Chains A and B, each alone.
Chain A
Amino acid sequence: DGGITQSPKYLFRKEGQNVTLSCEQNLNHDAMYWYRQDPGQGLRLIYYSQIVNDFQKGDIAEGYSVSREKKESFPLTVTSAQKNPTAFYLCASRWGENYGYTFGSGTRLTVV
């Protein structure tokens, strides 16, 4: 079945550490997105990519980095510069303007 796979499901980060969240899709979608969701809040856009080797900052890109070397993969790195990284991270892809997102199952990141 086609879909988006995020891993790991849970991740614990120590202070000052960089961590990378994986996002892989086999839907053949060009556009991919990373969102962050904090408790009781909506989704905020971190980064997005419309095509391989190109990506754009979203509304809250500071402290994050991404790469898009393959169509299927869009990993997100949470750097030590992100001061409040504890959140639920969601990866999504989209076929086009008239279609909604397909989301992965998310990664729950906690700073310890």
Chain B
Amino acid sequence: KEVEQDPGPFNVPEGATVAFNCTYSNSASQSFFWYRQDCRKEPKLLMSVYSSGNEDGRFTAQVDKSSKYISLFIRDSQPSDSATYLCAMSGAMDSSYKLIFGSGTRLLVRP
């Protein structure tokens, strides 16, 4: 598989820190993203992942291109964070801009 992602589910108490990881095989991948997908809904872009890492509130995303994995951390998790989280990355050095997705990790945050 081009992208490997732990399917979970992750079942954590409210307030926990959660970490999601994806490993990928294509060293040509240049752009990376995390999506959130609620049950029976479309994926929605959560964060782009920059080489220097980036943070948005309780969410932090990182990429390690030498080891070929990307990470998403959620601090102080809330029940409203319960969803499936998908990683995505560009698949090739071409102009198609198509993304390859992981299979998603389900998260359940217990109140």
Q: Do A and B bind each other?
A: yes
Identify the A interface with B (CB < 8 A): 31, 33, 35, 40-43, 45, 48, 50, 56, 58, 88, 90, 94, 96-106, 108
Identify the B interface with A (CB < 8 A): 3, 5, 7, 30-31, 33, 35, 40-45, 48, 86, 88, 90, 95-104
Q: How far is the CA of A56 from the CA of B98 in the complex (A)?
A: 11
The answer to whether B97 touches A105 (Cβ under 8 A) is no
Q: How far is the CA of A94 from the CA of B103 in the complex (A)?
A: 20
| Of B7, B31, B86, B97, the contact of A31 (CB 8 Å cutoff) | B97
The answer to whether A100 touches B48 (Cβ under 8 A) is yes
The answer to whether B103 touches A42 (Cβ under 8 A) is yes
Q: List 29 A-B contacts (CB under 8 A).
A: A31-B96, A31-B97, A33-B98, A35-B101, A40-B7, A41-B103, A42-B3, A42-B86, A43-B43, A43-B86, A43-B101, A48-B96, A50-B95, A56-B96, A90-B43, A94-B97, A94-B99, A97-B31, A97-B90, A97-B97, A99-B48, A100-B88, A101-B43, A101-B45, A101-B88, A101-B99, A102-B45, A103-B42, A103-B43
